[in-house]
Amino acid sequence: MDFPKQYDVIVIGGGHAGTEASLAAARMGASTLLLTHNIETLGQMSCNPAIGGIGKSHLVKEVDALGGAMAEATDLGGIQFRVLNARKGPAVRATRAQADRALYRSAIRSILERQQNLEIFQQAADDLIVEGERVVGVVTNAGIRFRGKTVVITAGTFLGGRIHIGLDSHSGGRAGDPPSIALAERLRELPFRVERLKTGTPPRIDARSVDFSELEEQWGDTPTPVMSYLGSREQHPRQVCCWITHTNNRTHEIIQGGLDRSPMYSGVIEGVGPRYCPSIEDKVHRFADKDSHQIFVEPEGLTTNELYPNGISTSLPFDVQVALVHSIRGFENAHITRPGYAIEYDFFDPRDLLPSLETKFIQGLYFAGQINGTTGYEEAAAQGLLAGANAALRAQERDAWSPRRDQAYLGVLVDDLITTGTKEPYRMFTSRAEYRLLLREDNADLRLTEQGRELGLVSDERWHAFTEKREAIERERQRLQETWIHPNTPQAAAAESKLPQPLAREYNLMDLLRRPELRYSDVAPLKGEPVSDERVAEQVEISAKYAGYIDRQRDEIERLRAYEDTPIPADFDYSEVSGLSSEVKQKLGDTRPDTLARASRVPGVTPAAVSLLLIQLKKRG
Ligand code: FAD
């Protein structure tokens, strides 16, 4: 049957990419359909119920700055919040929240159900309607034909999904959900490069069977961090404790003894797993000299006894899982509620995508999330938002949009994927961004909200809150710049109590704030009224303290922008460049980038190597 309505955007899949894609398109005024297997699993976290962390919180905050749902749902569902790297510089600080799985899901569903221009339909998409080189719709497993100007596929780990526990395996999209086989076969008929990846999850444990007296407690931060720019602590549900325990030599012996029945080590699994989130058998095998690995024991929610033992993801046979869990301190009598497993799935080479995440071969067809070779909810959400926005832009006959690497982690993510592709599940790290000091989690709104407003992604409420904040930052900067402290006054004495030497002359408050010994809370009240909004104070402080570094990064961006326009001749001889390592020479020789900017993005090419190339290019004239 032909569905009677035609949509601007059809999104397949209601995971993290699909929900942000459909919300973004609908916010921009596109009539949008979200077609998903099961409405009950909208926003489901397949693995660890946690959002954020290093590199990932930056993406969450960028999605938030562009009006997305992930940060809001985290504030509504988060049961423990921490800032990681709190003692390090602001570039690498990252908010992480443990979430109540059910609260998070219901927050996402409620945001979806309130969104204008968005309709939801529960059924599997089995086929695409393609006319010439253009997608024009989707067919469901019941034969319903939905027509749409654009289609965004966000099928996650479901395409050709195969679940492994020991040497047993069966088809599945994740535990308890069917795989997507028909759609996977249809996509394999199209001219995309397809490969297999794998990921895994640990067994879950009943808290009533754990001896917590043996575990180390880990509480969240006080005051509690907040994820969304529009969020507040008052939205958070009850906060809870997490725990830490460790594997030991006995655990490792049990794992070694089970490797012959491991699907990974017996060659049953061919897909490559996530390097930075390896299974426990991988860790024990690869780091054989380590006699212990840390396990974070995290509650799955406020109304369940299930615990997530973060660090022992495994696809070993169930009897080995039981033995290894029982060998861990505090888990001696633990009852496993769900076995751990690995899943293998199809992903599509992201080098077949444009920066808008539209596929190069089929117009109007976009891919976002795990299907592009990434891993993680945050990476999926960010791509979903971008793909959904671009699908809406195409339907509205407007130009595509993609942020640059110096504007957003989203820009870094997409540029990495489409330029270099990936051979293993790609996750975000701050180290992937060359302009870390500019791309902080605290300033994602200042970087992106204005752009989001122009695109139509940002609501009036968010825009008003943002412009007020931006004006307040400017006002406070001006006040600090214009407020002077004179030597031998009570204000000078207050500042001097934290300084190694007395003030020799008059200083304005901004100068004082640049001193490493003084914080905003020391300087701002010396004269006049400090701001009460801690987020405004934070921006004023960071911009003062890091002004020199930030200016240097801006200069570098300008300089590198010129790299985009610096061609490398096709006959350029890399062996002539003195100082380049032979590895870099070989990689550049293999890739033969056509501009210096592209050369700089070839994996393994360091900023120092780029400088050497530039010198050589200048020598050649
Ligand atoms: P998903 O969240 O998988 O959502 C896909 C959605 O599409 C689902 O709602 C599904 O029902 C729907 N769907 C699929 N096909 C169709 C169709 N044909 N028609 C209609 N609907 C369809 N990430 C980490 O960062 N670390 C980890 O350790 C980790 N471990 C994982 C372990 C397991 C077992 C699994 C399954 C995933 C794991 N992940 C991990 C990955 C994480 O779950 C994903 O990165 C993230 O969920 C991807 O989001 P997504 O929106 O792309 O896909």
Residue nearest to ligand 1 atom 40, measured at CA: 376
Q: Report the atom number in ligand 1 closest to the C-alpha of 16.
A: 51
76 pLDDT higher than 90:
yes
Q: Which two tokens stand for residue 192?
A: 């995309």
Residue 606 CA to residue 612 CA, distance in Å, equals 10
CA of 39 to the centre of ligand 1 (A): 14
274 is an annotated ligand-binding site residue: yes
Residue nearest to ligand 1 atom 47, measured at CA: 377
CA of 371 to the centre of ligand 1 (A): 9
**Low-confidence winner among 285-289, 312-316, 371-375 (lowest mean pLDDT):** 285-289
515 is an annotated ligand-binding site residue: no
Residue nearest to ligand 1 atom 45, measured at CA: 376
Q: Report the atom number in ligand 1 closest to the C-alpha of 13.
A: 7
The Cβ of residue 105 has, within 10 Å, a number of other Cβ atoms equal to: 20
- Amino acid 592: pLDDT: 65
514 is an annotated ligand-binding site residue: no
State whether CATH 1.10.150.570 applies to domain 565-620: yes
Convert the pLDDT of each residue in 572-617 to its tens digit. Answer: 999 889 889 988 898 777 666 767 887 888 788 888 899 899 889 9
Q: Which two tokens stand for residue 405?
A: 């690497």
114 is an annotated ligand-binding site residue: no
CA of 392 to the centre of ligand 1 (A): 23
- Amino acid 351: pLDDT: 87
Q: Which CATH fold topology does 204-344 show?
A: Elongation Factor Tu (Ef-tu); domain 3 (2.40.30)
Q: Is 488 left (phi over 0), alpha (psi -120 to 50) or beta?
A: left
CB 448 within 8 A of CB 62: yes
Q: Report the atom number in ligand 1 closest to the C-alpha of 369.
A: 52
- Amino acid 324: pLDDT: 97
Measured CA to CA in angstroms, residue 83 lies from 62, 98, 219, 495 at distances of: 17, 12, 12, 29
Convert the pLDDT of each residue in 140-153 to its tens digit. Answer: 999 999 999 999 99
Query: For the domain with range 481-551, which CATH number is right: 1.10.3720.10, 1.10.357.140, 1.10.357.10, 1.10.10.1800?
Result: 1.10.10.1800
Residue nearest to ligand 1 atom 18, measured at CA: 125
CA of 158 to the centre of ligand 1 (A): 7
CA of 534 to the centre of ligand 1 (A): 36
CA of 261 to the centre of ligand 1 (A): 26
Using most ligand atoms within 8 A of CB, pick from 158, 371, 422 the residue to mutate for ligand 1.
158
ipTM reported for the complex surpasses 0.90: yes
Closest by CA to 199, choosing from 162, 246, 247, is 162
335 is an annotated ligand-binding site residue: no
Sheet holding 294-299, edge to edge: 216-218, 242-246, 294-299, 306-310, 204-206, 336-338
Residue nearest to ligand 1 atom 4, measured at CA: 15
- Amino acid 557: pLDDT: 87
Residue 27 CA to residue 441 CA, distance in Å, equals 23
416 pLDDT higher than 70:
yes
283 is an annotated ligand-binding site residue: yes
570 pLDDT higher than 80:
no
More confident residue, 551 or 419: 551
- Amino acid 509: pLDDT: 97
273 pLDDT higher than 80:
no
- Pocket residues for ligand 1 (CB within 6 Å)? 12-18, 35-38, 41, 46-48, 124-125, 154-158, 173-174, 177, 180, 183, 199-201, 277, 313, 343, 369-370, 375-377, 380
Residue ranges of domains in the chain:
204-344, 481-551, 565-620
- Amino acid 421: pLDDT: 86
Residues 6+ positions from 458 with CB-CB distance below 8 Å:
27, 66, 67, 449, 452, 466
3 is an annotated ligand-binding site residue: no
**Low-confidence winner among 286-300, 428-442, 542-556, 589-603 (lowest mean pLDDT):** 589-603
Q: Report the atom number in ligand 1 closest to the C-alpha of 375.
A: 45
Convert the pLDDT of each residue in 81-114 to its tens digit. Answer: 999 999 898 989 999 999 999 999 999 999 999 9
CA of 376 to the centre of ligand 1 (A): 8
Q: Report the atom number in ligand 1 closest to the C-alpha of 370.
A: 52
- Pairing, β 341-348 against β 216-218: unpaired
CA of 47 to the centre of ligand 1 (A): 9
3-class SS at 156? helix
Residue 555 CA to residue 434 CA, distance in Å, equals 13
- Amino acid 590: pLDDT: 65
Residue nearest to ligand 1 atom 50, measured at CA: 156
- Amino acid 591: pLDDT: 61
621 pLDDT higher than 90:
no
Using most ligand atoms within 8 A of CB, pick from 120, 154, 422 the residue to mutate for ligand 1.
154
61 is an annotated ligand-binding site residue: no
Residue nearest to ligand 1 atom 53, measured at CA: 156
- Amino acid 175: pLDDT: 87
Q: Residue type for 422, please?
A: T
